[in-house]
Amino acid sequence: MATTAPVTPKVNYIGLPILEYRGGKSTLCAGCGHNAISERIVDAFYEMGVQPERIMKLSGIGCSSKTPAYFLSRSHSFNGVHGRMPAIATGAVLANHTMTALGLSGDGDTASIGTGQFVHLMRRNLPMIYIIENNGVYGLTKGQFSATADLGSTLKTGVVNDLPAIDTCALAIQLGATFVGRSFSGDKKQLLSMMKAAIAHKGTVLLDVISPCVTFNDHEGSTKSYKFMQGNVEPINEIGFVASFDEIEVDYDSGQTYEVEMHDGSSLRLRKLLENYDPTDKANAVRILMESELKNEILTGVFYINTEKPTFIDLLNLVDVPLGTQPESVTRPPSSALAALMDALK
């Protein structure tokens, strides 16, 4: 009888098969955009060869915030309270800034209940990746409008949204985030390249990913539906990413391409689709987003990148050895230290 040779699974740069980056089976609705984003997260961390135990997943509440259960099951995870993921992430990153922090949030979690936390996170440039799975509704609580729903869009019931949307990308750029982009859950190639570049960036990454809610917001009249996204998206750049460990010579026309060297030696190549677009020009990035709103266009791509700005860790001048791994004898001064301090204040 013929025997078949055992199949050796393909492994990544650190010798792990993709299986080691997966998570539990999704309980979200079939076709939910959030599931596609989870798949890209698995692909990006696998392709970048990040040790899963060196990743922390942080989230709030919502269908989007449930997704960390569906990827990276070998990583650390903290599912927090609605809208409070930024505070949890700040504490966790300050305790151990040598890990990669990945925050998952929804448009409700971020732009409604969590707005206060979100804006302060963006202005600190805390090194983390913050993904908003943006469907324009509160999916988990059955589809009410969120603050990212576009003016004039409708619910299935016909109710019209008469409030303007918050553009989380424009807000994040203005506040101080250092890598800001928008993508669509259905655009595998763009989203994967953007996520890989996000992993290489040192600072706050804000990725707003339009992610249709097939159950409550995929009808005619919704600007977050698959149909609307297929007809109204304008990419501003074509994203190419070359990881530091697979540097290969690529021929490209430098006049047409903006190249950014990332902190880990990788390179991000943004082929300009919008004439002369410079992703390091902060004011211009906000301007094109405001103009696109007036034209009812959804721009995607990397809008803004700044690899020079100090992170929150730099600003606080934290010691290199993570605080969370230091013994109590170092992190907890003795009572005599408190007494001396009090004496000094007399």
Ligand X SMILES: Cc1ncc(C[n+]2csc(CCOP(=O)(O)OP(=O)(O)O)c2C)c(N)n1
Residues 6+ apart with CB under 8 A from 34: 28, 63, 64, 67, 133, 135, 185, 211
What mask of x and - would describe binding to ligand SF4 in positions 58 to 97, judged by CB under 6 A? Answer: -----x----------------------------------
Nearest alpha carbon to residue 125 among 80, 180, 79, 57: 180
Encoded tokens for 319: 């010691």
> What residues numbered 117-156 form the site for ligand X, per CB under 6 A?
133, 135, 137-141, 146
From the list 26-34, 155-163, 198-206, 226-234, the region that binds ligand SF4 by CB under 6 A is: 26-34
From the list 59-67, 89-97, 229-237, 239-247, the region that binds ligand X by CB under 6 A is: 59-67
Q: How many helices (H) and strands (E) does the chain have?
A: 12, 13
Instruction: Please say which residue, 111 or 288, places its beta carbon nearer to Mg ion.
Output: 111
141: partner contacted, choices Mg ion, ligand SF4, ligand X, none (Cβ within 5-8 A by kind): ligand X
Among 209, 213, 233, 289, binds ligand SF4 (CB under 6 A): 213
Residue 224 found at the interface with ligand X (CB under 6 A): no
Residue 214 found at the interface with ligand SF4 (CB under 6 A): yes
CB of 68 to ligand X, least distance (A): 12
* Cross-strand bridge partners of residue 265: none
Among 32, 72, 147, 299, binds ligand SF4 (CB under 6 A): 32
Residue 135 found at the interface with Mg ion (CB under 5 A): yes
Q: How many residues bind Mg ion (CB under 5 A)?
A: 5
Please give the Cα distance from 274 to 157 (Å, whole number). Answer: 38
CA 61 remoteness from chain centre = 16
What does the longest C-alpha to C-alpha distance in the chain come to? Answer: 90
- With CB atoms as reference, the residue minimizing the distance to ligand X is 106
Helix or strand holding residue 273 (H, E): none
User: Which spans in 112-206 are helix H?
Assistant: 115-124, 168-175, 188-200
Please give the Cα distance from 225 to 237 (Å, whole number). Answer: 22
From the list 36-44, 138-146, 181-189, 264-272, the region that binds Mg ion by CB under 5 A is: 138-146
Decide: 203 and 196 in contact? Cβ < 8 Å: no
Residues 6+ apart with CB under 8 A from 58: 68, 77, 78, 80, 85, 88, 89, 92, 101, 102, 103, 104, 128
82: partner contacted, choices ligand SF4, Mg ion, ligand X, none (Cβ within 5-8 A by kind): ligand X
Instruction: Please say which residue, 20 or 218, places its beta carbon nearer to ligand X.
Output: 218
Which stretches of the chain bind ligand SF4, using CB under 6 A? Answer: 28-29, 32, 34, 63, 135, 139-140, 213-216
